[in-house]
Amino acid sequence: MLLLLLTLTSLTSFALSQPPPSNEGPFPPSDGGLQPPQPPSPSEGGRGPTSPPHIPPEEEREFTLTVPEPMEGKPTPPSTEPQELSPAEVAAEGELPKRVRGYALAVISGIHVYVWYNGRWVDTPAAICLGGWTEVVVWNDRTQYLWLWEGYPDGTNRWYNLGYRPGKAWIRIWFQGDVAGWHKLAVWGSTSGWSNIVYIYVAVCGPGPRPHPQPPTPSTLSINLWTDRYYYHVGDTITIYYSVNMRCFARLTISGPALYVSKSFTLSPGTYTYTGRAYRSGQRTVTFEAWTSDGQHAYRTISYYVYP
């Protein structure tokens, strides 16, 4: 696992600091940071995203990342709060890629993420020694709510609320790696959608123990359950997300008008999806249950509505 400092919305072993949650827009997850941001309900004027803010889409082709030479990183920062930077401050910290320097940032569309690596800002793979610090900057093209996603070497995911941020602006985030392996970072904007994904390899450098060489093993079963939207129309694709924090046996049940689906599986820690299509109007109830070999049991139920 890894410290990616923005003040943690979850009780994890790495330290992230984030601004206090706003009274509007997406709210911080309440279940350990595992659940992605959800839009307001229809009664509150929300329509739900056309693209679900779940794990960012990656290229389907298989690829192998080459591990770069790891750097020691930067000194421990005095503050790890996300901070807006001027273009001059970003340029003073390091050189941007050539393809970016030739454009006016104001006309570049989309959110883009860069990592400080050996004196330069890169969006290609970077590497840092275990326990080291580096900076991540986010180019935010529009005024919107931003969420940071991090994928861990063990396959689990975490979300961090970056708050409501102005457009045409840079935002700095401090990253500390405390578990060896590949880490993936991306930012989701409530208007712009997904940024690029950056990859940072955390390497064990030199002899001697490092802090938190392994993520803590969870002792209490925790599960999550959510859908990509609060309501649908007949013919829409419905995506259900469910996650667990330890190996367990689980069952997913969907019931409604002329509908009953029940799926059972053995799961490892991580987030999973079930996709179906809405064929009939009415309310649906989704139940997710999980059991462990030592007798723990967890249970979640949610509902969504299908309109004609």
Domains of the chain: 2-203 (2.60.40.1930), 223-307 (2.60.40.2550)
Most confident segment among 25-29, 30-34, 37-41, 119-123: 119-123
What percentage of the chain reaches a pLDDT higher than 90? 23
Backbone angles phi, psi at 30, to 5 degrees: -100, -5
Half-sphere exposure of 161 (CA within 13 A, CB side): 23
d(Cα 205, Cα 185) in Å, to the nearest integer? 22
Question: Please, which pLDDT band fits residue 54 given cuts at 50, 70 and 90?
Answer: low
Mean pLDDT over each residue of the chain, to the nearest integer:
74
Q: What pTM was estimated for this model as a whole?
A: 0.53
**Paired strand residues for 239:** 275
Please determine, for residue 52, whether its predicted confidence score (pLDDT) is greater than 60: no
- Tens-place pLDDT, residues 109-122: 689 999 999 999 99
- Tens-place pLDDT, residues 232-284: 888 888 888 888 888 999 999 999 888 888 999 899 888 888 888 888 888 88
d(Cα 33, Cα 29) in Å, to the nearest integer? 5
- Tens-place pLDDT, residues 138-183: 999 999 988 888 888 888 788 888 888 999 999 999 998 878 888 9
